Structure 1
Amino acid sequence: MRLLLHACCGPCSLEPTRLLRAAGHDLTILYANSNIAPAEEYARRLSTLQTWASDENLPVIEGPYNPAAWEACAGRVGEAANDPERRRARCRACYRLRLEETARLAAAEGFDGIGTTLSVSPYQYTDVIREELNRAAAAAGIQAIFEDFRPFYDEATRRSRSLGMYRQNYCGCRFSDAEAAAERAERKATRAAAREAERAAHADELAAAEAERQARRAERAAYDAKQAKKRAILKALREQQTSEDH
């Protein structure tokens, strides 16, 4: 079928496009990601996607970049609270905005269906992505082609690194940027604490080993002193015996 594939970035597009092409779909990629901030990050991801897609003879359409629209829905949800359930609701609002844009454009341009590369990431809410893709497609009167691409995440990572593609370290929105930074800081602190604990344990081991060496040296010194005393006594006895013999 003629499929409009929503893509979040270049690296996440590698395996989904390979698999969908192998299934016989005629693909056009849509980069519709008003969630991505700042604008420089948005442009860098788009450029990476376009460069790779050109080499693959895959057409790329850029959707409208409207951060204000994103802030009005997902941003507002994200501001309401900071907990796992609110994060899920924020991501749902974000998926909905982008997949609705995809479905509207697909229907207007005569595509048979829509899909998304979002489900390649193990860090996304796969069940929510499926629900929102199906909902958006049904509302636009087209088909939804959903696949759980998470089993291919490692291969996508390997391929994107081998191709030298820019790989972002957060999902895209300002919330995910802050969350990723906090997680990196936590991991850094955990690694630092582990290294410090290892150094402390090693220091304790060194101190114990040094104490053992000192104890052995003291024991040897006491033994040597005892033996020297014995030798001195024997020498005195021999000298006394020699004197008496004369």
Structure 2
Amino acid sequence: MKLLMHICCAPCTVAIVDNLRNDSDILIEGFFYNPNIHPLEEYKKRKLSVLQFSDEYNFKVNYHDDYKLEYWRISLGKDKDLRCNTCYSIRLNAAAKFAKNNSFDAFTTSLLISPYQNHELIRNMGQAIADKYGIEFYYEDFRELYRRGREISRGKHYYMQKYCGCFYSYSESDHPKKPDYDFES
């Protein structure tokens, strides 16, 4: 099976790639598409870390740069459920479309390694999007690999973020450099 994996960051990807490469029936490539990440400096750090990972692991990654700060700030607002649902949808739709247009058999996401993500929503949304594009969504609960991915990343000195990505998650986190935004304007 030729599998495209949406990549959110290197730490969430490395252990999944190791795991899937052990399956001789799966040929895996990455797809880095994260228009939600804020600020731009953070986006660049995460992308650079994925570039480092892909070089070290001889892992092909397709990069789709699209930075949409104002979309996230103005269109989605503070509602966490709406933000996360839309964020998953945008990224999974982009991955499915890219996979379909580039002759992949299936797509998946590195978000499935995180104990902080909504697996049921991702799985259900992934399947609905797969049906829409006529391609398979590969679901596997990779959460047991989360700590291993963090350990590998520490050892390789991959950048490890302190929040999910959007500027609301940034301000809601305990990140030491969180900005002071005026959300009402």
* Alignment TM-score > 0.5, same fold: yes
The Cα shift of 1:69 comes to 7.9
**In the aligned structure 1, how far is the partner of 2:91 from the partner of 2:128?**
12
Distance 1:107 1:167 in 2: 31
The yes-or-no answer on 1:99 pairing with 2:92 is yes
Whether the 8 Å CA contact 1:70–1:97 is kept in 2: the answer is no
Question: Are 2:69 and 1:76 equivalent residues in the alignment?
Answer: no
In structure 1, distance between residues paired with 2:177 and 2:123:
29
Q: After TM superposition, give the deviation of residue 63 of structure 1 in Å.
A: 1.3
Residue identity in the other structure for 1:17: V
Task: Please tell me whether residue 124 in structure 1 is matched to residue 117 in structure 2.
Answer: yes
Partner of 1:140: 133
Q: Which amino acid aligns with 1:96?
A: S
Give the equivalent residue in structure 2 for 1:19: 19
**CA deviation string 1:25-71 (max 9, x = no partner):** 11110001000011121111111111111111110111131315852
Q: Alpha carbons of 1:76 and 1:112: their partners in 2 closer, same or farther (altered >3 Å)?
A: same
Q: Which runs of 4+ in 1 moved over 2 A?
A: 68-72, 181-185
Q: Residues of 1 paired with 2:27 and 2:175: CA distance?
A: 41
Distance of aligned partners of 1:51 and 1:146 in 2 relative to their CA distance in 1, 3 Å threshold: same
Deviation at 1:175, TM superposition (A): 0.7
Partner of 1:34 in structure 2?
35
Give unmatched runs, 5+ long, in structure 2: 179-185
The 1:184/1:154 distance shift into structure 2, 3 A limit, reads farther
Distance in 1 of aligned mates of 2:22 and 2:71: 34
How many residue pairs end up in the alignment?
A: 177
Q: Give the C-alpha shift of residue 88 in structure 1.
A: 2.6
Q: Which protein is bigger by CA-based radius of gyration?
A: 1
**Is structure 2 residue 7 aligned with structure 1 residue 7?**
yes
| C-alpha distance in structure 1 between counterparts of 2:44 and 2:175, whole Å | 24
Counterpart secondary structure, 1:181: coil
Task: Go from structure 1 to structure 2 and tell me whether the alpha carbon gap of 1:37 and 1:140 turns closer, same or farther (over 3 Å shift).
Answer: same
> RMSD value over aligned CA atoms?
2.1
TM-score of the pair, normalised by structure 2: 0.88
Contact 2:162 2:175 in 1 (8 A): no
**Deviation, structure 1 residue 76:** 2.7
The one-letter code matched in structure 2 to 1:9 is C
Instruction: Identify, as 1 or 2, the structure richer in helix.
Output: 1
Letter in 1 for 2:44: A
Contact in 2 for aligned 1:35/1:67 (Cα 8 Å) = yes
Distance 1:183 1:76 in 2: 27
Kindly state the Cα deviation for residue 19 of structure 1 after the two structures are TM-superposed: 1.7
Matches within 5 A, 1:1-246: 1-23=1-23, 24-67=25-68, 70-71=71-72, 76-77=75-76, 79=77, 81=78, 86-181=79-174
The whole-number CA distance in structure 2 between the counterparts of 1:67 and 1:44 is: 17
Aligned residues of 1:121 and 1:150 also touching (Cα < 8 A): yes
1:33–1:98: 8 Å Cα contact kept in structure 2?
Answer: yes
1:60 aligned partner, one-letter code: V
Letter in 2 for 1:57: N
CA distance change for structure 1 residues 50 and 113 in 2, over 3 Å: closer, same or farther? Answer: same
Give the letter aligned to residue 168 of structure 1.
Answer: Q
Q: Is the 8 A contact 1:103 1:137 kept in 2?
A: yes
